[in-house]
Amino acid sequence: MRAVFLCNEADNPARVYSVSVCELLAEKAGLRDYVYSEKDVLQQPELFADTEYIFSTWGMPQLNEEQIRTCFPRLRCIFYAAGSVQYFARPFLNCGIRVFSAWAANAVPVAEYTLAQIILANKGFYATARLQSCGEVAAADTLKHNYRGNYGDTVGIIGVGMIGTLVCEMLKNYNLKIKVFDPFLSEEKAERLGVEKCSLEELFSQCCVVSNHLADNAQTKGMLNGSLFASMRPYAVFLNTGRGAQVIEDDLAAVLQKRPDLTAVLDVTMPEPPVQGHPFYTLPNCILTPHIAGSSGDELYRMAEYMADEFVRFEDGDKCRYEVTEEMLATMA
């Protein structure tokens, strides 16, 4: 089999790979619609002796280098129609197998979601809607005057990878100043995006909205702590579509309790969802959503389309756009 679907969640490829993409890959790569699992690979390695290409999505198995070399001796590429490859990619890369990810496709809905939340936050949507919906009309009317809107204020972006970059580019359509924290961001890219690099401390204390897009790795775990949240401007909003592990959540909850003027909009937590009885469930200034910023519904098809296009580019000898390298894993989400 020259190409296979490999995924431990058998239903996932059908959710991500549209009929038209499957037809294309069947024609170009000989891909069949059967989904193989890690168990299939380890129990029947002979089936994959000629496999050159793996297509997958959420549920891609974690294999070690010995298993990879034994089961996939001719494997050339993995095309992963989802976002982060952190949990499975390194052993494949160490075996000389090229890994491609639809992280750029998955970044699009996250950036769109983030932009929408920033625009709403700057209008005071969260705090005023809460009051107005409870019939506290006078209080809501008074509160709305504490928000400056989307003209001239300062937004903070933590992490300027693919998602953070898209958010900055989308914000160019608004008359907003953008401060960013990203130690890996070059001066040239910062100038191109029209953003100002600064420290985390400056970003939290000066921005009306702080949006987290940090890469998910050991270095960023617990990076966002209570002192940063306590330093936020009056009526500021913290938005997290990155990872919950990057936030010391007990600190955030404590600050939200002391600072009812602040709002947290959390699409991710650690764990997801928060455990029963967590303060996030009862704090009126904490808004939780069930990890909806990323690709969902028909948006999933975009990821497979990116990977099908990448496969065609690879086969034709053209320059590929979404290859993941060992060096990139140090800074990617």
pLDDT per residue over 206-234, tens digit each?
999 999 999 888 889 999 999 999 999 99
Closest CA to 333 of 170, 184, 155: 184
Task: Report pLDDT for 218.
Answer: 84
Cα separation values, 20 from 17, 30, 284, 308, Å: 8, 14, 45, 10
Range(s) for CATH 3.40.50.720 in the chain?
3-105+297-330, 107-288
| pLDDT tier for residue 153 given thresholds of 50, 70 and 90 | very high
Query: Looking at residue 333, what is its pLDDT?
Result: 65
More confident residue, 330 or 140: 140
Tokens 């898209």 locate to 166
* Type of residue numbered 165: T
- Alpha carbons 188 and 131: distance in angstroms, whole number: 44
What's the chain's length in residues? 333
8/275 Cα distance (integer angstroms)? 26
Query: Which tokens sit at 333?
Result: 């989400």
Q: Is 321 helix (H, G, I), strand (E, B) or coil?
A: coil
Question: pTM for this structure?
Answer: 0.85
> If you average pLDDT over residues 171-186, what whole number do you get?
96
Choose the weakest-confidence range: 154-163, 168-177, 188-197, 216-225.
Answer: 216-225
Query: DSSP 3-state assignment of 316?
Result: helix
In degrees and rounded to multiples of 5, residue 14 shows phi and psi of: -65, -25
Distances, alpha carbon 304 to alpha carbons 23, 101, 259, 311, in Å: 12, 10, 43, 10
What confidence score (pLDDT) does residue 35 get?
Answer: 98
Give the Å distances, CA to CA, from 188 to 84, 131, 193, 197, 212: 26, 44, 9, 11, 22
Give the homologous superfamily in CATH for domain 107-288.
NAD(P)-binding Rossmann-like Domain (3.40.50.720)
For residue 246, the model assigns a pLDDT of 96
| pLDDT score recorded for residue 216 | 81
Residue 272 and residue 72: Cα distance in Å, rounded?
34
Which contiguous run of DSSP H or E holds residue 219? none
Which phi and psi (to 5°) does residue 237 adopt? -130, 135
Examine the pLDDT at 143 and tell me if it is beyond 70. yes
Upstream peptide bond of 273 is cis (omega within 30 degrees of 0): yes
What's the pLDDT score for residue 106? 87
Structure tokens at 233: 């401007």
Q: What is the mean pLDDT of the chain?
A: 96
Tokens of 298: 């028909």
pLDDT band (50, 70, 90) for residue 330: confident
CB 22 within 8 A of CB 46: no
Q: What is the mean pLDDT of residues 194-217?
A: 96
Given a cut of 80, whether residue 322 has pLDDT beyond it is yes
Per-residue pLDDT tens for 13-60?
999 999 999 999 999 999 999 999 999 999 999 999 999 999 999 999
132, HSE (Cβ side, Cα atoms, 13 Å): 11
Q: Smallest Cα–Cα separation from 260: which of 136, 131, 133, 158? A: 131
The tens digit of pLDDT for each residue in 91-129 reads 999 999 999 999 899 899 999 999 999 999 999 999 999
For the segment 238-279, what is each residue's pLDDT rounded down to a tens digit?
A: 999 999 999 999 999 999 999 999 999 999 999 999 999 999
Instruction: Find residue 35's DSSP bridge partners.
Output: 5
With a cut of 90, say whether residue 332 has pLDDT above it: no
Nearest Cα to Cα of residue 136 among 301, 253, 284: 284
Domain 3-105+297-330 has CATH 3.40.50.150: no
